Amino acid sequence: MPSRILRAPLPPRPLRGKSSSPAKVADDGDEEMMFTPVANGKRINGDLPTTRDLVEEAPTVIKVVGPSSEFGSEIHGNDESSDEEEDGEEEPIVHVEVRLQPESTIRPEHIIAPVTYLLQAQLKWVYAGEEFTSDLWEEIPVLLRNVERIFVSETEQPGPLKGDEVEYDVHVYKTSNEGSVIEGGLEEDEDEDCPTAATVITLPSAEIEGLWENLIYEGGIKERLLRYMNTSLVFADCQIDSNVISSNRLALMYGPAGTGKTSLCRALAHKLAIRYASDKYPNGAKLIEINSHSLFSKWFSESGKLVQKVFDQVQFYLSDPGCLVVVMIDEVESIATSRAAAMQGTEPGDAVRVVNAILTQLDRLKEHPNALVLATSNLVGGIDAAFVDRADIKQFIGPPSPEAIYWILLSTFKELGKRNFGGERLAPHGDKLLSWKEAVPGSRTEHKSRRDERIWLASVELRKLAVRCHEIQASGRFLRRLPKLAHARLARRTARLAQWMEAFVAELEQEAENQSLIVRGEGKRASVAH
């Protein structure tokens, strides 16, 4: 990917028809701060509009983008829209996530305008996945005092895109560490320790932050799920009649163990909170993770009551229409098992009552436009047909391909390459490894230094390692744990790339041998659940 090119120090295209001099952006309280854009470390001569001007006097041709342009937050100077604008080609949307500092109390609308102007002033090319450091906005007080991170999350079209031919959709958010639990058990169990029925996480969550970017799937799986959830919220916001167009707002992710289904659900909920909560849901967002195994009672025929008790708590959160609630049911086959198969069990009546209770509660959730449901399963064949039929989207999450494995391992090396121990890098130059396409055996070219040669050789070895991981069907959990296992094998705390590769290969072959022993011991092909 070519390096990002900054614009020449010229005034960026204006956000509105007239200018104000000098620019001021209102911070929290009554204070106003001077705001002057910079390029290549120098100030740009030109005036900026105030945030108030952007909101109140935006001309017809400008779309004021906030946390969600998908909901159509278009502001016009008058009620008539331009025919030329409607007939013209729309600019691709670039989603930009702006994370505020924990102590910041500024309102999001006071950040959107300066960030948009800054990007228009500075970027000649825009790339998805590009992160900016604070030196980019060090001369803009409102950003310097409030913004922690600016990240180009997604682009509507594959990049790179010209910076003056895109529309920035800026999402401002702040992460939270808040959470709570929903206790399990019935009145009969008051004297006993009961498992937690569900965990409630306030979104966006500091714990989940960054997970979306580190989940690597092929075929646009993440983007497809995000678009589906977007459509679900849009249809709910438009009050589409579900009797005419069915919408259960339920997504089912299924596939073998260790492929990241649970992590994908959590990251998707986090992403939805960033993109939509601050705009459509002023009271925030909650992720409710239901513990399926806690919904079975030792008391005969009481499991259905446990299900109802947990979902009554879910209904409590849903009663606030200003709060987005994402319900996640992990390993849903535990509580939504096929009723036909349950009839063959030891307590068929209780199992059937649990499934009936789950289906009833899902139908109740449909009544709330602020409810979304995500479910995962390792054994989709064991799920009741009525539950599967209720899922609007069923997404298979399979083992990663060699290229996806390479990018996963590459991300671990980049992390090791950035971290120090005792003043030394854990994996020197680990953050300099090449891309999948560049790490091709036999593509050796003249390198400028011995260091470049070693980096190329290590990249080629990493590509071979990725292919081998795919051959033994290594799970995503194992891939993420491999660096720790490899480091334990090393004789020293830090090591060269070649030594890291040797340790990776040794641990991988050890894993392959362990899988082989387990297969022979069970007499059948199996995958280790790491």
pLDDT digits (tens, 9 = 90+) for 232-263: 999 998 999 888 998 999 999 999 998 999 99
**Residue among 63, 90, 365 nearest 232 (CA):** 365
Residues 466 and 504 in one domain: yes
Quick check: 309 pLDDT over 50? yes
- Determine, yes or no, domain membership for 5: no
Which residues lie below 8 Å from residue 195, measured CB to CB, with a gap of 6+? 184, 185, 291, 293, 294
Last residue of a domain, one of 173, 205, 234: 173
Quick check: 99 pLDDT over 80? yes
Quick check: 433 pLDDT over 60? yes
Quick check: 185 pLDDT over 50? yes
Residues 359 and 407 in one domain: no
Last residue of a domain, one of 173, 192, 224: 173
Side chain identity at 76, as an amino acid letter?
A: H
Rounded alpha-carbon distances, angstroms, from residue 409 to 87, 357, 433, 474: 46, 43, 11, 12
Domain count, the chain: 3
Quick check: 376 pLDDT over 60? yes
Quick check: 24 pLDDT over 60? no
* pLDDT for 492: 77
Quick check: 215 pLDDT over 90? yes
The DSSP element (H or E) to which 118 belongs, if any, is helix 109-122
- Determine, yes or no, domain membership for 435: yes
Secondary structure letter of residue 123 according to DSSP: B
* pLDDT for 47: 43
Residue with tokens 């997604």: 154
Cα–Cα distance measured from residue 281 to residue 68, given in angstroms and rounded to the nearest whole number: 11
Residues 287 and 413 in one domain: no
Describe the chain by its helix, strand, coil percentages, rounded to 5: 40, 15, 40
Quick check: 403 pLDDT over 80? yes
The DSSP element (H or E) to which 402 belongs, if any, is helix 402-418
Which residues lie below 8 Å from residue 406, measured CB to CB, with a gap of 6+? 436, 439, 462, 463, 466
- Give the pLDDT mean for 27-52: 41
* pLDDT for 118: 92
Cα–Cα distance measured from residue 495 to residue 425, given in angstroms and rounded to the nearest whole number: 8
Residues 163 and 193 in one domain: no
Residue 188 pLDDT class (50, 70, 90 cuts): low
- Which is more confident, 105 or 133? 105
Side chain identity at 366, as an amino acid letter?
A: K
CA dihedral 460, 465, 470, 475 (to 10 degrees): -130
Last residue of a domain, one of 368, 396, 424: 396
- Determine, yes or no, domain membership for 13: no
- Give the pLDDT mean for 67-91: 47
- Determine, yes or no, domain membership for 528: no
Residues 192 and 154 in one domain: no
Residues 84 and 188 in one domain: no
- Which is more confident, 504 or 63? 504
Q: What is the CATH number of the domain that holds 307?
A: 3.40.50.300
What's the predicted TM-score (pTM) here? Answer: 0.78
- Give the pLDDT mean for 426-436: 91
Domain of residue 168: give its range.
Answer: 24-173
Residues 258 and 391 in one domain: yes
- Determine, yes or no, domain membership for 4: no
Cβ 486 vs Cβ 504: under 8 Å = yes
Residue 88 pLDDT class (50, 70, 90 cuts): low
Which residues lie below 8 Å from residue 150, measured CB to CB, with a gap of 6+? 96, 97, 98, 99, 115, 131, 132, 136, 137
- Determine, yes or no, domain membership for 19: no
- Give the pLDDT mean for 266-295: 90
Quick check: 63 pLDDT over 50? no
Quick check: 41 pLDDT over 60? no
* pLDDT for 21: 29
Of 60-69, 171-180, 210-219, least confident by mean pLDDT is 60-69
Establish how many alpha carbons lie within 13 A of residue 510's alpha carbon, considering only the half-sphere containing its beta carbon. 11
Report whether the peptide linkage leading into residue 204 is cis, meaning its omega lies within 30 degrees of zero: yes
| pLDDT above 70: percentage of residues in the chain | 75
- Which is more confident, 393 or 74? 393
Provide the token pair at 192. 């006993």
Residue 299 pLDDT class (50, 70, 90 cuts): low
Residues 413 and 444 in one domain: yes
Residues 473 and 517 in one domain: yes
Residues 227 and 350 in one domain: yes
Give me the residues paired with residue 201 across strands: 179, 287
* pLDDT for 345: 61
* pLDDT for 340: 74
Which range, 58-62, 78-82, 113-117, 181-185, is most confident? 113-117
Dihedral sign from CA coordinates of 347, 349, 352, 357: negative
| pLDDT above 90: percentage of residues in the chain | 51
- Determine, yes or no, domain membership for 235: yes
Which residues lie below 8 Å from residue 253, measured CB to CB, with a gap of 6+? 261, 264, 265, 374, 375, 376, 377, 395, 397
Exposed, middle or buried by CB within 10 Å (0-12, 13-18, 19+), for 48? buried
Of 60-69, 327-336, 345-354, least confident by mean pLDDT is 60-69
* pLDDT for 206: 95
- Determine, yes or no, domain membership for 501: yes
Average pLDDT, the chain: 80
* pLDDT for 304: 81
Residues 250 and 374 in one domain: yes
**Residue among 337, 378, 494 nearest 430 (CA):** 494
Quick check: 173 pLDDT over 50? yes
Rounded alpha-carbon distances, angstroms, from residue 11 to 97, 118, 167: 24, 11, 17
pLDDT in tens, 448-492: 688 888 899 999 999 999 999 999 989 889 999 999 999 999 877
Residues 163 and 183 in one domain: no
Q: Tell me how far the alpha carbon of residue 218 is from its chain's centroid.
A: 15
- Give the pLDDT mean for 352-372: 92
